[in-house]
Amino acid sequence: MSNERTFAIIKPNAVLAGRVGQILSEIERSALTLRGMRLARLTPEICKEFYQEHVGKAFYPTLEAFMVEGPVVLLCLEGENAIVRWRDIMGATDPAKAAEGTLRARFGESITRNATHGSDSPASAQRELGFFFGAYDLV
């Protein structure tokens, strides 16, 4: 077991639906520690850079349109096996397939509008945290 950091996004649909507090409460109950948090409004340019591996795929225009439609909450979470633990708390990408009680099962609407994002590996966590948070923004 190792202490690590992961990146998370509370997506526009969850922010606009007033679910931020419930999601943050789940993070606190899970014993993950909040090390950075920022409310932001993504632009198409930021989305293209952040989701660069998806640009050009059929689903990308829908993803970009969704991610710019409202504010998001950007998070740095820390704890033992934080990446896997956060992904377990979120549930499967498709809310219809997510386990009961997970964030995506509770608050997600579709595969794209699934309420939350989380890094899928240490390498992506490092890249995503670096993209949205400079070292000076994290405690």
Give the up-direction half-sphere exposure of residue 97: CA atoms within 13 A in the CB hemisphere.
4
CA angle 127–33–134, rounded 5-degree value: 35
Identify whether 117 is a catalytic site residue.
Answer: yes
Q: How many C-beta atoms lie closer than 10 Å to residue 45's C-beta?
A: 9
CA torsion 7-38-138-134 (nearest 10°) is 80
- Alpha-carbon gap, residue 13 to 23, rounded angstroms: 13
Q: Which of 37, 117, 118, 129 is catalytic?
A: 117
By annotation, the residues acting in catalysis are 117
